[in-house]
Amino acid sequence: MSFSHAVKRMLVGRKLASTQLGETLLPKRIALPVFASDALSSVAYAPDEILLTLSLAGMAGFAFSWWIGLLVAVVMAVVVLSYRQTVHAYPSGGGDYEVATVNIGPTAGLVVASALLVDYVLTVAVSVSSGVQNAEAMLPFLAGHEGPVAALVILLLMAMNLRGVRESGTAFAVPTYLFMVAIIGMTLWGLFRILVLGHELRAETADWVVHSSAPYAQNFTGLLMVALLARAFSSGCAALTGVEAISNGVPAFRKPKSRNAATTLGLLGLIAITMLGGIITLANLTRVHMLDVRGGAWFVKPDGTEVHHEATTVVGQLARVVFQDSFLPGFYLVVLLTMLILFLAANTAFNGFPTLGSILARDGYLPRQLHTRGDRLAYSNGIISLAFAAVALVLIFNASVTALIQLYVVGVFVSFTVSQFGMLRHWTRALRTETSAPARQRMQRSRLINAVGLTLTGIVLLVVLASKLLHGAYLAIIAMVVTFLVMKAIHRHYARVAKEVALSGPSDRALPSRVRAVLFVGQVNKPTMRALAFAKATRPSSLEAVTVAVDDEQTRALLEVWDDNQVDVPLKVIASPYREVTGPFIEHVRRIRTDNPRDVVSVYIPEYVVGHWWEQLLHNQTALVIRTRLHFMPGVMTISVPYQLRSSQEAEQRYEADDPSAWRMVGQ
């Protein structure tokens, strides 16, 4: 076992056979943390972005955070209820993609798929960036290196996910539950201190005043104020991403899959709303203020000094004010768990993205190799693609949550809206054939829920588009359109090829009348002789050995060795006026082919099998070029006769010891 192999095994664990797949199914108590971390973790940045956006209107803006929080909670509740219907109706895990495809059409499905693929990437980028931002409260030396640190975290998550879904589930459950306990505990203890004990808790930024160099600051009235509130609400809606992950992940649940998934979804909604409400309430009571440094604003402290950097995150400020003078370990626990949960939130996308990618590959919208499972039964190719795209994003935006959040949310609301419309049609169609009264009643109730969901998510989508388009959402939309067009093109390509290669009649099976074998000779040695022996063994109708004369002296020597070895096949020498090997040989094969149109030409090429890539540079280059060019000639098959040099044995053992997924990454 080589070192790299050992490292790989350490990172991704043992192989899992297909029959072991059952074992990787998730019980509810594990599924909740695996699929819920995204939605839950957004309490670590959604309140921040709400307050930060409101700060554009100066100190007066912060008063609106209650209302924004309440609105987000309402939307969340409706979306959760809507998706419970989807989980029941479509237990196969296609989620929004399947709902849209089946009920509206393939194009609608593809729109949803593009939106979701882009949003999965953004989920990873935003969550990990926010995690790094939170980590800075404890590890200040990270400041200034957010991009690379976030990229590193994403690559670690990738490695964990290549181990397979079950093990990550177990590993992720404990911190997720601890996070819930910590946040809800902090909220309760804070409220208890304020409301019952009458403590006056004031956040570190409570007395800091927002100043801004922007000309319109402090002048937010009328429509401008509405627009600002809409933007704050849009950022707050980041809390809703991840809700749909469960509907894509139903097959990963234990049976009864749909019911377990629906229950988990309900629990998730309840916990998320509780946490978000708690944080916003506490932030208002302790008067947490946030600041958009990128918008040219700064704080002025009561003593007149100015603060030009971003404030600590909301959760960090709350944890400090609630625990600092009462239970200091609580502060560290909350900050640490928030950081952890954000990194784990990215894991939701690492579950959802490859599943969706695999379904799209099955339907011919993505390269087929994405459909095959890796040896860990997770879709390695999808996991790797997701990680690389997210790494690119955090490096480009230097892991700034405020910048990335402008791109976020659009995709998820596109898919919410389209999928709710699909569900509406689903129930309408189901009602057409259903006769049992209780079933009809259930369906009508579901249809009503989905109708409300459609209305609400549609409105939110319009609000998000209107308020964020110019702030960065256009980038996300461009990414979705490009993804859509690429998938469409791939599908068109596969369809065209399938039509072109479909069997059309008995002429497809017409046998060539004869086989004319041609052996390419560069030197006279064992590889050439082996190729000759193999060619003879196939007993072709005709067999000729051909060499190209580039250097007269060498050619003469070659002919002598050929004769010396009493080879019973004549060696034909082709002249090469341009001192070039490939061209004249190809021409020769073409001539044979033209002279015998009903025969098949089989070209034997001896190849050296070597053990290292640099040895490959020293051999087989002619063989490579000849094979590539002969491929364009119908009725010609190229036959590689490998000759294994000693150095190849080591390489073979390396491949054999290693698992097949190393090969699959090359692509299947």
At 475, is the secondary structure helix, strand, or coil?
helix
Among residues 333 and 581, whose Cβ is nearest to a copy of itself? 581
Q: How far is the CB of 636 from a copy of itself (least distance, A)?
A: 7
**Alpha helix locations (H) across 91-221?**
95-103, 106-135, 146-162, 165-191
Among residues 197 and 666, whose Cβ is nearest to a copy of itself? 666
Integer Cα distance of 144 and 152 in angstroms: 15
Q: How far is CA 353 from CA 47, 123, 461, 508, 618, in A?
A: 26, 10, 22, 40, 41
At 638, is the secondary structure helix, strand, or coil?
strand
Q: How far is the CB of 597 from a copy of itself (least distance, A)?
A: 14
At 397, is the secondary structure helix, strand, or coil?
coil
Q: How far is the CB of 499 from a copy of itself (least distance, A)?
A: 10
Among residues 469 and 490, whose Cβ is nearest to a copy of itself? 490
Among residues 28 and 373, whose Cβ is nearest to a copy of itself? 373
Among residues 470 and 511, whose Cβ is nearest to a copy of itself? 511
Among residues 441 and 538, whose Cβ is nearest to a copy of itself? 538
Q: How far is the CB of 18 from a copy of itself (least distance, A)?
A: 5
Q: How far is the CB of 1 from a copy of itself (least distance, A)?
A: 17
Among residues 140 and 577, whose Cβ is nearest to a copy of itself? 577
Q: How far is CA 153 from CA 17, 121, 378, 403, in A?
A: 29, 14, 19, 19
8 Å CB contact between 391 and 129 = no
Integer Cα distance of 667 and 663 in angstroms: 7
Q: How far is the CB of 502 from a copy of itself (least distance, A)?
A: 6
Integer Cα distance of 110 and 116 in angstroms: 10
Q: How far is the CB of 169 from a copy of itself (least distance, A)?
A: 20
Among residues 432 and 646, whose Cβ is nearest to a copy of itself? 646
Q: Give the chain's radius of gyration (CA, Å).
A: 32
In terms of Cα–Cα distance, which of 317, 320, 340, 342 is closest to 331? Answer: 320
Q: How far is the CB of 594 from a copy of itself (least distance, A)?
A: 14
Among residues 258 and 358, whose Cβ is nearest to a copy of itself? 358
Q: How far is the CB of 577 from a copy of itself (least distance, A)?
A: 4
Among residues 137 and 383, whose Cβ is nearest to a copy of itself? 383
8 Å CB contact between 239 and 39 = yes
Q: How far is the CB of 573 from a copy of itself (least distance, A)?
A: 15
Among residues 223 and 666, whose Cβ is nearest to a copy of itself? 666
Among residues 485 and 533, whose Cβ is nearest to a copy of itself? 533
Q: How far is the CB of 663 from a copy of itself (least distance, A)?
A: 5
Tokens of 631: 């491929």
Which residues are CB-neighbours of 453 under 8 A, at least 6 positions away? 78, 79, 81, 82, 416, 420, 423
Tokens of 344: 């784990």
Pairing type for strands 542-549 and 571-575 reads parallel
Q: How far is the CB of 162 from a copy of itself (least distance, A)?
A: 14
Among residues 294 and 496, whose Cβ is nearest to a copy of itself? 496
Q: How far is CA 591 from CA 113, 519, 585, 601, in A?
A: 51, 15, 10, 11
Q: How far is the CB of 552 from a copy of itself (least distance, A)?
A: 10
In terms of Cα–Cα distance, which of 516, 100, 179 is closest to 342? Answer: 179
8-15, long-range: CB within 8 Å, 24+ apart, which pairs?
8/658, 8/659, 8/662, 11/159, 11/162, 11/163, 12/159, 12/162, 12/163, 12/164, 12/376, 13/163, 13/164, 13/167, 13/376, 15/375, 15/376, 15/659
Integer Cα distance of 262 and 604 in angstroms: 61
Tokens of 451: 């109708």
Among residues 57 and 487, whose Cβ is nearest to a copy of itself? 487
As beta bridge partners, residue 209 has 300
How many other CB atoms are there within 10 angstroms of residue 579's CB atom? 10
Residue matched to tokens 């949960």: 341
Among residues 106 and 367, whose Cβ is nearest to a copy of itself? 367
Q: Using H for helix, E for strand and C for coil, what is the string for 520-582? A: ECCCCCHHHHHHHHHHHHCCCCEEEEEEEECCHHHHHHHHHHHHHCCCCCCEEEEECCCCCCH
Q: How far is the CB of 357 from a copy of itself (least distance, A)?
A: 15
Q: How far is the CB of 21 from a copy of itself (least distance, A)?
A: 9
Class of residue 419 by CB neighbours under 10 A (exposed 0-12, middle 13-18, buried 19+) = buried
Pairing type for strands 306-307 and 297-300 reads antiparallel
8 Å CB contact between 443 and 435 = no
